[in-house]
Amino acid sequence: MKKIDPDILDRAKIWLTDVFDAQSRKEVQALIDHKPEELMDAFYKDLEFGTGGLRGIMGVGTNRMNKYTVGMATQGLADYVLRSFPDLDQPAVAIAHDCRNNSDFFTEITAEVLSANGIKVFVFDALRPTPLLSYAVRKLECQAGIVITASHNPVEYNGYKVYWDDGGQLVPPHDKNVIAEVQKTSVQDIQFGRRDELITTLDASFDDIYIREIKTLSLSPQSIDKQKDMRIVFTPIHGSTVRIVPEALKAFGFEAVYNVPEQDVVDGNFPTVESPNPEEKAAFTMALQRAREVDADLVMATDPDGDRVGVAVKDNKGEYILLNGNQCATLLTYYVLEQMKQQKLLKGNEYIVKTIVTTDLLAEIAAAYDVECVDVLTGFKYIAEKMRLREGEKRFLCGGEESYGFLVGDFVRDKDAVITCCMVAEAAAWARQNNMSLYDLLIRIYTEYALYAETLMSVTRKGMQGAAEIREMMDKFRKEPPAGIDGKTIARIIDYQAGIDRDLYMNEEFPVDLPKSNVLQFILEDGTKISMRPSGTEPKIKYYFGCRSELDKAGNYEKKRKGLLDQIERIKKDLQLI
């Protein structure tokens, strides 16, 4: 049996004291007696806020999601909210949760601790998508918001995402300040003791307000009216959009929305899929089967907390293909800007936002419409931050990230699968009205601008040892960058952690005008971009590859795209990733 690190054992033994409930003490003792490796992973560190907040495996331990880690996080947040808004008689916090196991339990703990601290709480009566929480924070003039979710992580995970009064996830300095409060909070400091008079339940009538506001985003209602019979298959993959997306599509005017009955069942075990991640083809298996049965024009799937959307469309052979996040963002950005131009709604003060690992095609499209494109770090919270900083000065139109998150309009401050589903469906209706499919429209965009091919590769390294291995991978690329990749010279190296953009041709260095972040990018002489970063929410290091080529005519699309994808595979081999 593996020997337990003494320091970790001391951390674990604290959980054997009377401060913790009997069941927790029993589970910790069992880990000490029989599962030393599991014990070490459960106690070697405290859960930390990353790009998605607090997220981890459920169970006992300081590195786990449980009553006490959630309680300490909530107590720390409560202390920070009360200190940050001293002039308010009654600060307020909104809470939502998804379908995951224990999400309702963690919601109850969170509401209990907040109300015990004298904070007014708005809590939804059942599961709701994450963007609705973002909307509620602003609509109800709350000082903060919380969503209990682990997005599309494996079944054993849950999480705790915190939002500030602008409706966006925590960014500096609030994220670090909340962490500091949580770190100095002990289990003994947690104020348990629910105050029912401070807790207000939000029911379906609030959803109706949100849907009515979403409908104001419609840019081509006449196309929907003429294509209202367009067949759409939608699945929430057992998650929180099960009711609200179909209702929103109906409000937009779509009359032929088909569900996947087996996946309408709310279940945190996600019994019909290996992973509830709409980025993965396997998650679409049942939806595509349903689409073939009804001959659907469009297939959409959301992740459990309802902020990401995967989209499938028919190609020119009548086969369903999955669009990646960059392609979906490309279609929506083009659609929004083209419609606004046609309707003379562009006034010259508009902008869009994308992350540094999202396709640069969005910047090309924006430039063609004289719309500014702003780059931010990975994580939609930085898009929300940009919206807050520019509020009242410039108009946000839309923004997205390659990881299947997109937003149109500014009344929500996070990626929104409900809005995205409606706008994708509307873009498909508009394309159909103009004798195109979304697939045709995408190729038309490529021929008008340039063909981009992007892929993502994730390498998982779990636990304490895995975190060390990921650090070593990043260190090696920083200290020993390759001289060339795929026979091409590296023209620039952008190190966002050092804040330096190095031009290797000119032998010059320039500052990076973004906050420091553990991201490294290699830009090759032909414009190919290779990015790498540790995930902030999962035990992974992510590699992003993007290649660009001119596309002279639609008929050459498949051949050209294959050439770019082959180029990416050669790059992976050169970097010894495969």
Angstrom distances, CA of residue 19 to CA of 14, 23, 72, 116: 9, 12, 13, 18
Are 417 and 248 in contact by the 8 Å Cβ rule? The answer is: no
The alpha carbon dihedral of 118, 121, 125, 130 has a sign of negative
List 24, 103, 151, 218, catalytic entry:
151
Are 290 and 260 in contact by the 8 Å Cβ rule? The answer is: yes
Are 506 and 499 in contact by the 8 Å Cβ rule? The answer is: no
Helix or strand run (H / E) with residue 298 = strand 298-302
Angstrom distances, CA of residue 58 to CA of 8, 65, 145, 153, 269: 18, 4, 21, 12, 13
Angstrom distances, CA of residue 451 to CA of 120, 331, 362, 571: 51, 13, 12, 18
Closest CA to 12 of 50, 68, 71, 57: 68
- Residue 549 falls in the annotated catalytic set: no
The rounded distance, in Å, linking the Cα atoms of 26 and 22 is 6
**DSSP secondary structure string for all residues of 488-543:** EEEEEEEETTTTEEEETTTTEEEE-SS---S-EEEEETTS-EEEEEE-SSSSEEEE
The rounded distance, in Å, linking the Cα atoms of 323 and 281 is 10
The alpha carbon dihedral of 264, 270, 271, 274 has a sign of positive
The rounded distance, in Å, linking the Cα atoms of 297 and 314 is 7
Angstrom distances, CA of residue 160 to CA of 71, 277, 305, 418, 518: 11, 18, 12, 21, 22
Rg (CA), the chain: 24
Closest CA to 398 of 371, 367, 425, 368: 371
Tokens for 161?
Answer: 């995402």
Angstrom distances, CA of residue 392 to CA of 51, 283, 337, 389: 26, 41, 20, 9
Active site residue ranges: 151
